[in-house]
Structure 1
Amino acid sequence: MSKHALIIIDIQNDYFPGGKWALEGADQAADNAARLLTAARARGDLVVHVRHEFESADAPFFTPGSAGAQIHAKVAPANNEPVVLKHNVNSFRDTPLKSTLDDHGITALTIVGSMSHMCIDAATRAAADFGYDVTVAHDACATLPLAFHSKQVTAADVHASTMAALAFAYAKVVATDDLLAH
């Protein structure tokens, strides 16, 4: 039994063009996540899908029961793959994610999804703090531009800054092609 799991976080319809909160590079990130998903299934790795849904109907995106809150077809779960519903940024907070991983004897994770600077960052840090060996496929993650006071930050810079911070102390941060080559 594999000790590795692929965690696919928040690759949901609202993050794609035409959705309520479209991210830059969502399609390319999902395509890379789908490649990793195919490989994980072929290896027999545990695959866990994490889906964010806000608890209020007046949320800016991922509203309860909406099509936008559903997992995107590119990474649709197979019947036997667990789907974890979360209501917070951190996929481990108030969810069965950790117990699911532990029940399967998982020691190593590959994390992909959205948004790089929020849910990917939070899950990666939490996973490392829980003692998992964590890898992030940086090109299977997407984000959007941000602003801080008068400073405008491009999506590419938000993503690069987040990945640099995670690579410093929390995870191996690698490209999808490199993961698939090993």
Structure 2
Amino acid sequence: MSKQALIVVDIQNDYFPGGRWPLSGVDAAADNAARIIAAARSAGDLVVYIRHEFTRDDAPFFSPGSEGAHLHPKVQNLPDEQVILKHHVNSFLETNLATVLERHAIEDLVIVGSMSHLCIDAITRAAADLGYKATVIHDACASCDLEFNGLTVPAAHVHAAFMSALGFGYARVVSTEQFLA
């Protein structure tokens, strides 16, 4: 039995063009995530999907029960693949993710999804704190422009800064091609 699991974080409709919070490069990231999912399935690895919903109807995106909160068709789970609902940035917080991973004796996590600067950062840091060995597939993650103190930070710079920080102290950060090689 494999000790590795793929965690597919928040690849949901609202992050795509036409959604309520579109991300930069989300289509290419989802295409790469789909390749990683196919490889994990082929290897017999556990694949776990994380789906975020806010708890209030007036949320900026991922409103409860909305079409925008559904998993995107590019990365749809199979019937036997678990989808964990979360209400916080950290996928471990108030969910059964740790229990699922423990039940399968998982030691290594491969992480893909959105947003690089929030949920990917949070799950990766939490995973490291919990003793998991983490790998983030950087080109299977997406982000958006951010604003700080009157300065707009382009999505590519946001993504690069967070991947750099994660790679410095929390995870191995590689491309889809490097991971699949």
Q: Could you say which TM-score interval applies, normalised by the shorter chain? A: over 0.9
Q: What is the distance in 1 between the residues matched to 2:147 and 2:12?
A: 23
TM-score, normalization by structure 1? 0.99
Q: What is the distance in 2 between the residues matched to 1:88 and 1:121?
A: 13
Structure 1 position 6 matched with structure 2 position 22? no
2:140 alignment partner in structure 1: 140
1:81 alignment partner in structure 2: 81
Per-residue deviation, 1:124: 0.2
Q: What is the distance in 2 between the residues matched to 1:128 and 1:77?
A: 25
Counterparts of 1:51-90 in structure 2, within 5 Å, are 51-90=51-90
1:94 alignment partner in structure 2: 94
Paired amino acid for 1:3: K
Q: What is the distance in 2 between the residues matched to 1:19 and 1:155?
A: 17
2:104 alignment partner in structure 1: 104
Paired amino acid for 1:48: V
Q: What is the distance in 1 between the residues matched to 2:141 and 2:79?
A: 24
Paired amino acid for 1:118: L
1:29 alignment partner in structure 2: 29
2:116 alignment partner in structure 1: 116
Instruction: Give the unaligned 5+ runs of structure 2.
Output: none
1:151 alignment partner in structure 2: 151
CA RMSD after TM alignment:
0.4
Paired amino acid for 1:170: Y
Per-residue deviation, 1:151: 1.4
Q: How many pairs were matched up?
A: 181
Q: What is the distance in 2 between the residues matched to 1:29 and 1:150?
A: 28
Per-residue deviation, 1:150: 1.5
1:39 alignment partner in structure 2: 39
Q: What is the distance in 1 between the residues matched to 2:26 and 2:16?
A: 6
Deviations 1:22-72 (A, max 9, x none): 000010000000000000000000000000000000000000000000000
Paired amino acid for 1:143: S
Moved over 4 A (4+): none
Per-residue deviation, 1:131: 0.5
Deviations 1:81-100 (A, max 9, x none): 11000000000000000110
Per-residue deviation, 1:18: 0.3
2:126 alignment partner in structure 1: 126
Instruction: Give the unaligned 5+ runs of structure 1.
Output: none
SS at match of 1:163: helix
TM-score, normalization by structure 2? 0.99
Q: What is the distance in 2 between the residues matched to 1:101 and 1:33?
A: 20
